[in-house]
Structure 1
Amino acid sequence: MEPTGSQAGTQHAASEPMIRLTGIGKTYPDGTVAVHELDLEVGRGELAVLVGPSGCGKSTTLKMINRLIEPTTGTIEIDGDDVTRRDPVELRRGIGYVIQAVGLFPHQRITANVMTVPLLYGESKRTARQRAEELLDLVGLDPKTYGGRYPHELSGGQRQRVGVARALAADPPVLLMDEPFGAVDPVVRVRLQEEFLRLQRDLGKTVVLVTHDIDEAVTMGDRVAVFAEGGRLAQYATPAALLAHPADDFVADFVGATRGLRRLSVTRLDPAHLEPMDDVKAGELGTAIDLDSTLEEALAAMLRDDRPMVGVKDGARFVGVLTPAGVHRALRASLVE
Structure 2
Amino acid sequence: MIKLTGVGKTYADGTVAVRELDLDVATGEMVVLVGPSGCGKSTTLKMINRLIEPTAGRIEIDGRDVTSSDPVELRRGIGYVIQQIGLFPHQRIIENAMAVPLLLGESKRTARERAAELLTMVGLDPEQHGHRFPHQLSGGQRQRVGVARALAADPPVLLMDEPFGAVDPIVRVRLQEEFRRLQRDLGKTVVMVTHDIDEAVLMGDRVAVFAEGGRLAQYGTPAELLARPADDFVADFVGAEKGLRRLSVVSLSEEHLEPLGMVKGGELGAAIDLDSTLEQALAAMLRDDRSTIGVKSGARFVGVLTPAGVHAALRSALRDATGSESPDLR
Structure 1 and Structure 2 fold alike (TM over 0.5): yes
- Give the deviation of 1:38 after TM superposition: 0.3
SS at match of 2:283: helix
Corresponding position of 2:192: 209
Render the CA deviation track for 1:67-95: whole Å, top value 9, x for unaligned: 00000001111111111111111000000
Hey, what's the Cα distance between the residues in 2 that align with 1:48 and 1:175? 11
Corresponding position of 2:178: 195
Render the CA deviation track for 1:149-173: whole Å, top value 9, x for unaligned: 1111111111100000000000000
Corresponding position of 1:122: 105
Render the CA deviation track for 1:39-75: whole Å, top value 9, x for unaligned: 0011110110000000000000000000000000011
How many corresponding residue pairs? 320
1:80 equivalent in alignment to 2:63: yes
1:132 equivalent in alignment to 2:115: yes
Render the CA deviation track for 1:237-269: whole Å, top value 9, x for unaligned: 111111111111111111110010011022111
- Which of residues 200, 205, 215 is equivalent to 1:232? 215
Render the CA deviation track for 1:110-162: whole Å, top value 9, x for unaligned: 11111111111111111111111111111111111111111111111111000
- Give the deviation of 1:280 after TM superposition: 3.2
Hey, what's the Cα distance between the residues in 1 that align with 2:119 and 2:285? 40
Hey, what's the Cα distance between the residues in 2 that align with 1:184 and 1:304? 27
Corresponding position of 2:13: 30
SS at match of 1:177: strand
1:87-102 counterparts in 2 under 5 A? 87-102=70-85
SS at match of 2:86: coil
Corresponding position of 2:154: 171
Hey, what's the Cα distance between the residues in 2 that align with 1:313 and 1:182? 35
Q: Over the residues paired in the alignment, what is the CA RMSD in angstroms?
A: 1.4
My pick for the range that moved more, 213-222 or 291-300, is 291-300
- Matched residue type, 1:178: D
Corresponding position of 1:312: 295
- Matched residue type, 1:317: R
Identity of aligned residues (%): 81
- Which of residues 305, 309, 317 is equivalent to 1:322? 305
TM-score normalised according to structure 2 size: 0.94
- Give the deviation of 1:305 after TM superposition: 4.2
1:248–1:300 CA distance, 2 compared to 1 (3 A): same
- Give the deviation of 1:282 after TM superposition: 3.8
- Give the deviation of 1:283 after TM superposition: 5.6
Corresponding position of 1:288: 271
Corresponding position of 2:233: 250
My pick for the range that moved more, 235-244 or 284-293, is 284-293
Hey, what's the Cα distance between the residues in 2 that align with 1:52 and 1:188? 23
My pick for the range that moved more, 265-274 or 304-313, is 304-313
- Matched residue type, 1:90: E
**Structure 1 consecutive aligned stretches of length 4 or more whose deviation exceeds 4 Å:** none
- Matched residue type, 2:292: M
SS at match of 1:301: helix
Hey, what's the Cα distance between the residues in 1 that align with 2:314 and 2:84? 38
- Matched residue type, 1:217: A
Corresponding position of 2:130: 147
Corresponding position of 1:69: 52
- Matched residue type, 1:143: P
My pick for the range that moved more, 50-59 or 307-316, is 307-316
Hey, what's the Cα distance between the residues in 2 that align with 1:302 and 1:216? 24
- Matched residue type, 1:316: A
1:3-14 counterparts in 2 under 5 A? none
Hey, what's the Cα distance between the residues in 1 that align with 2:95 and 2:265? 59
1:122–1:283 CA distance, 2 compared to 1 (3 A): closer
Corresponding position of 1:12: none
Residue ranges of structure 1 left out of the alignment (5+ in a row): 1-17
SS at match of 2:304: strand
TM-score normalised according to structure 1 size: 0.92
- Which of residues 161, 174, 177 is equivalent to 2:144? 161
My pick for the range that moved more, 146-155 or 25-34, is 146-155
1:10-21 counterparts in 2 under 5 A? 18-21=1-4
- Give the deviation of 1:104 after TM superposition: 0.7
Hey, what's the Cα distance between the residues in 2 that align with 1:334 and 1:182? 30
Corresponding position of 2:327: none
- Give the deviation of 1:284 after TM superposition: 5.0
